[in-house]
Amino acid sequence: MSLYLVVPLLGIVALIQTTLMPHLAVRGVFPDLPVLMVVSWSLLRGSGEGVVWGFIAGVAVDLFSAAPFGAATLGLIAVGFGWGVGKAAAFRAHLALPLLATFLATVLYDLIFLLVVQVAGGAVVWLDSLFRTILPSAVLNALLTPPVLIGMRWLHLRLSHEEMEW
């Protein structure tokens, strides 16, 4: 997929994530759209494109958020690389694997994000963050995986010239 399309798409997603999503939170939990998109694209296209999407989405989130610069970028690059290794094989093996991948990716992303915040001098309450925010957010993201994955597959099929393995 062309970077001319990816950059604006992920920029808009990051803007929605940092401005609108916190207002839709229920008990501090809201979907993490960049994680959902990076995981989905990585599963569809592999680690190479997953890292690129993670970098672009991470920089965009970092530009729009008040968190230390690099927190989102490092987390999303790790997610894009790690979940791209499974690529399309994850779909053929079992339907629950993309949901599990998104759950684990959300936990990884949030832990890396909080680690960067702490290293930058911010106060982090680890157990409270884990049980009140990270795990519920991971469950929510896992539940939102099927529609996001369907949308990303549609995008892939419309804009890619390569055959996708299913």
Per-residue pLDDT reduced to its tens digit, 128-152? 999 999 999 999 999 999 999 999 9
Residue 85 confidence class, pLDDT cut points 50, 70, 90: confident
Calpha distance 163→147 (Å, rounded): 21
- Please report the pLDDT score of residue 53 as a whole number: 95
Q: What is the mean pLDDT of residues 113-141?
A: 96
- Please report the pLDDT score of residue 161 as a whole number: 62
Average pLDDT, the chain: 89
What is the pTM (predicted TM-score) of this model?
Answer: 0.90
**Among 52, 62, 64, 60, which Cα is nearest to 113's?**
62
For residue 121, give Cα distances in angstroms to 47, 110, 112, 126: 31, 17, 14, 14
- Please report the pLDDT score of residue 71 as a whole number: 96
Q: What is the mean pLDDT of residues 9-22?
A: 95
- Please report the pLDDT score of residue 93 as a whole number: 64
Calpha distance 102→141 (Å, rounded): 7
Instruction: Write down the H helix ranges in 20-134.
Output: 33-45, 47-64, 71-84, 89-93, 96-119, 126-129
Indicate the DSSP class of residue 163. P
Top-confidence residue, 83 or 142: 142
Q: Residue 59 contacts by C-beta under 8 Å, 6 or more apart in sequence? A: 72, 73
Residue boundaries of the structural domains of the chain: 3-159
Calpha distance 32→22 (Å, rounded): 10
Calpha distance 25→91 (Å, rounded): 30
- Please report the pLDDT score of residue 21 as a whole number: 94
CATH number of 3-159: 1.10.1760
User: CB–CB of 133/110 below 8 Å?
Assistant: yes
Buried b (16+ CB within 10 A) or exposed e, 127-145: eebeeebbbbbbebbbebb
Quick: pLDDT tens for 40-77. Answer: 999 888 889 999 999 999 999 999 999 999 999 999 99
Q: Residue 143 contacts by C-beta under 8 Å, 6 or more apart in sequence? A: 99
Q: What is the mean pLDDT of residues 93-99?
A: 81
